[in-house]
Amino acid sequence: MDIMDITERLKSFFHNYVDAYLTGDKSLDRNIMLKKQHSLMVHRECRELAAAENFSEHETVLAEIAGLYHDIGRFEQLKRYNTLVDFKSVNHGEFGADILEKDNILNELEPADAAAVINAVRYHNSRDIPDRLTGLSRFLTRVVRDADKLDIYRVVMDYYREGNYDKTILLNLSETAMVSPAVFEAIKGRQNPLMSDMKTITDFKLSKLCWFYDLNFDHSLREIRNRGIDKKLFGLLPELPEIKIIRRDVNSYMDARLV
């Protein structure tokens, strides 16, 4: 069976699947539609990344499917727990992968392709990609993680610009303008800081800068600079000695990689 036909059916299924979660409750439906829009944007980011990095047609199609379905667990998460905060409910990556498996949503794909897409969904939000993940699974996971980050930056910028912070989303962190030592050391070492080390909203914002080091494809980092995301994020941070050091390191890293 032609994979392009399968892809079109999977796109149609996605829209029907998500729309079935709409209830008429404005608050819930708003979050459903936000996550639907995010999924569609990640799908597009995957397609653009594939074109920029010269993926094969097969790789491109699977990347698009993985991007479209990467947050499929979010909708049932909202229905059951009325939250998008994983530590208060479920790990949405693992939850989504389990849904894809249990409901046989990808059963028209070749088994190896379906398994790779499911792995990309399962690990797209993990702190690191497990070493045991190899081949097509690792490849698709790397693609989706980049595409997801690129669109999350769009969402984050809108959120910060509005200025009405949801303390739950920001983990009830202190609003003091300081950088916690453990967070600073992690970012200096180009590592994602642990959530448990974050004490302030400044720490939370800095953690998004650290994602630059975790981008897998040059296209993704180039888009960070082209969209001015680096400048916008630094513009949201206080003028502190630690921030200046991190800004210098980030700029040096980006300049060296994007030669």
| Span 205-241, pLDDT tens digits | 888 888 999 999 999 999 999 999 999 999 888 999 9
Confidence band for 163, pLDDT divided at 50, 70 and 90: low
Task: Report the number of secondary-structure helices (H) and strands (E) in the chain.
Answer: 12, 0
Residues in contact with 240: Cβ distance below 8 Å, sequence separation at least 6, in sequence order: 177, 178, 179, 202
Residues in contact with 86: Cβ distance below 8 Å, sequence separation at least 6, in sequence order: 92, 125
Confidence band for 175, pLDDT divided at 50, 70 and 90: confident
Tell me what pLDDT residue 157 has.
79
Structure tokens at 31: 């979050």
In the chain, where the domains are located: 3-153, 165-257
Judge contact between 73 and 90, C-beta under 8 A.
yes
Count of beta carbons in the 10 Å neighbourhood of residue 112 = 11
Tell me what pLDDT residue 192 has.
85
Q: Which of 214, 198, 199, 219 is nearest to 250 (CA)?
A: 214
Indicate if the pLDDT at residue 243 is higher than 90.
yes
Confidence band for 93, pLDDT divided at 50, 70 and 90: very high
Judge contact between 129 and 149, C-beta under 8 A.
no
Helix ranges (H only) for 163-228 are 181-188, 201-209, 218-226
Tell me what pLDDT residue 113 has.
97
Indicate if the pLDDT at residue 90 is higher than 80.
yes
The predicted model scores a pTM of: 0.91
Which option is the CATH number for 3-153: 3.40.47.10, 3.40.640.10, 1.10.3210.10, 2.30.110.10?
1.10.3210.10
